[in-house]
Chains A and B, each alone.
Chain A
């Protein structure tokens, strides 16, 4: 058994196999950071390559994300560790008035796999909730998702409120969702627009490293 088997179990969306292999590797004394970096996260990165090549679809991504989460839970439970979160902290949520979450959840898991600590506020998140969490958690990145155009204005309201409270300056604001465009993201004062989860991770990594 090698890391390669675990990588394949995650990228194939086989949660049971990913959990089993993770248990086995723990028994062999593999460290949590190696389990995540060389196994679970690599599985998702491999999926990203297949996605870019048009070989996999939303279904495969959802299953792989689920397999990653299942196996990561084993790491957390057995080794009391869920990764180092050394790239930084991301607060993420779907804006108020919108209860869509599939895309947002995929982004959150992909960010975790990339070694961000993720605070997921869920859906229908108010301006106040975003601001108070940014104030208390002091994240490096704030991610906001929106699927329906009538709720889109909430993103600008969050950014404006962060500015008014003096919380905007050192924060990277990342936005995504079907009604958005790169131009709109720029117009409302966001730093990053991402069209899918893989782009979101790549751009967030690049931004925090600057």
Chain B
């Protein structure tokens, strides 16, 4: 029996997962960590050309991350992508005289030019590094105004506009609609204060750590409460991001995670659940096996992305340890497999991921598909899905 993309998504994202008609697909996606860049020699344009699509609209790339935001509908259809995306509605980053950009959405975080787009600045150049006291946190100049009536009105207008888009997508399509109402992100802490200081604050000055994290959470919740009120009924997936893994293990101990990170994510998840029935999905780079059970406990439905390419992230291990409690997303490695392997090797890996992780699996790239990925390898993922056919 054939299912709509939305029906398919809800089946794979239930716990324990239920079998849909075929694998749920978000490849190549068009969201912040499942996307493709517009950079030669390959990238988005090479993929369009490979698929014979020549009249695509000019690609619009994300201001700092570089992924194409307006992936042509024909590409999403060809690959059978089950998701459609709400615009993120971010202000363009402010370009500074030294070529850096400052991002309002991330509370003044700075990015510097790197490999054809931008990368967060080194720790020593982060804007909130000087902070020492709770008073410094309050006086930080890049917190957005979420309280004045003018700011509130503007926020409500933006949210209402986004709500109209969400409602139209919900009512006029049968795709799973994806939004981004996450209120807390440890990455933002690191972007404004530095990765090293995130750890030093946590270990040496927990009071300050909690004060800054609480501030980040509160501002996020103030904003997202307005957005969720407008889009909550129409989104099927709330896509959130953070990073807790390195290639070889977690960044912090489980004890530290429970004390310094989990409570903030719980509040962010609770707010989403208050306004929406959307399934909650979190991106993290690296090896995150050790945190998955804790995330599931606080209501996370889907987690990704570096399946198969970081310690303890083998598909068999993930399925065996957590397959009943959470859905997995990712698997198509953008650092090695898609870049260096042959199309046949990519196909073999794709089939292995689907066979091992289904039914609780959404096939997606492990992160941004970079400019070094040949379109043949991107298409090989689709061919493997076709060769496997319905479940």
Contacts and interface: CB of A to CB of B under 8 A. Distances in A.
A148 B370 contact: yes
A13 interface: yes
Nearest to A96: B115
Which of B195, B199, B250 lies at the interface centre, i.e. has the most chain A CB atoms within 10 A of its CB? B199
Interface string A137-153: 00000000000111110
Contact of A97 (B114, B122, B202): B114
A99 B200 CA distance: 22
Interface in A29-55: 54
Given A58-B246, A59-B199, A59-B202, A181 B336 contact: yes
B203 A63 contact: yes
A56 B196 CA distance: 16
A13 B203 contact: yes
Contacts of B195: 102
Interface of B: 39, 112, 114-116, 119, 122, 195-196, 199-200, 202-203, 246-253, 256, 334-336, 339-340, 370-372
The 5 lowest CB-CB distance pairs between A and B, nearest first, are A179-B335, A97-B115, A59-B199, A58-B251, A59-B252
B146 to A, nearest CB: 31
B372 A149 contact: yes
A62 B247 CA distance: 16
Contacts of A58: 199, 246, 249-252
A98 B122 CA distance: 11
A101 B248 CA distance: 16
A196 B249 CA distance: 11
Q: Majority SS of interface residues in chain A?
A: loop
A65 B315 CA distance: 34
15 contacts: A13-B203, A57-B249, A57-B250, A59-B251, A59-B252, A60-B253, A62-B199, A98-B115, A99-B112, A102-B196, A124-B114, A148-B115, A148-B370, A150-B372, A152-B372
Interface string A171-190: 00000001101001000000
A100 B285 CA distance: 15
A123 B372 contact: no
Interface of A: 13, 54, 56-60, 62-63, 66, 97-102, 123-124, 148-152, 178-179, 181, 184, 195-196
Nearest to B250: A57
A101 B196 CA distance: 11
Contacts of A99: 112, 114, 119, 122
A178 B243 CA distance: 15
Contacts of B115: 97-98, 148, 150-151
Nearest to A199: B248
Which of A13, A97, A148, A150 lies at the interface centre, i.e. has the most chain B CB atoms within 10 A of its CB? A150
